[in-house]
Amino acid sequence: MESWHGTTILAVRKSGNAVIAGDGQVSLGATVIKPNARKVRRLGDGNVIGGFAGATADAFTLFDRLERKLEQHHGQLMRAAVELAKDWRTDKYLRNLEAMMIVADKEITLILTGNGDVLEPQDGVAAIGSGGNFALAAARALDDYEQDAETIARKAMKIAAEVCVYTNENLTVEKIENSK
């Protein structure tokens, strides 16, 4: 059975700004099924941004659950993410979901997995998906030369699209700007 591929999600945090960028490609084997999928969105009251890699229906289920957790925990992303990760790992239904997420608010960026992981990247850069390692390496290399998180994300995603056949340049970008 052929497998679905085609997601690169990149988060960059710099100068108090957080950006999550995702490409639009969904592939089945060697065929591009959809070139403009939206894998990045705002959550809750708009103060959290997130991107997903994996099965779309599973990711939307997880986004919905995360939004409920954000409501329950008054917008506290870390607490909501930990509670989601607990449910994801222990709930019979959620345990079978195949997706990963990167979420960010004005304070923190997190990677969430079905293994119960809630990981905060130490350098403010995180990536998931087929082209994630390419985008991650490019963003880290650009970090010393670019001051703007969105510029880093867009350039790194362009590089990932040039080297990963499962990544394209149709980006969705969401940003949370430092209010200071």
Catalytic residues: 7
| Range list of H helices, 55-148 | 56-72, 77-90, 132-142
The dihedral over CA atoms of 10, 12, 18, 20, expressed in degrees to the nearest 10, equals -10
Produce one character per residue of 53-77: b if its CB has 16 or more CB atoms within 10 Å, e if not. bbebebbebbbebbbebbeeeeebb
Q: Which residues contact 126 (CB under 8 A, 6 or more apart)?
A: 10, 11, 102, 109, 111, 119, 136
Q: How far apart are CA 108 and CA 66, in angstroms?
A: 15
The dihedral over CA atoms of 24, 55, 58, 80, expressed in degrees to the nearest 10, equals -60
The three-state DSSP-derived secondary structure of 61-76 is: HHHHHHHHHHHHCCCC
Q: Position of tokens 């490609």?
A: 25
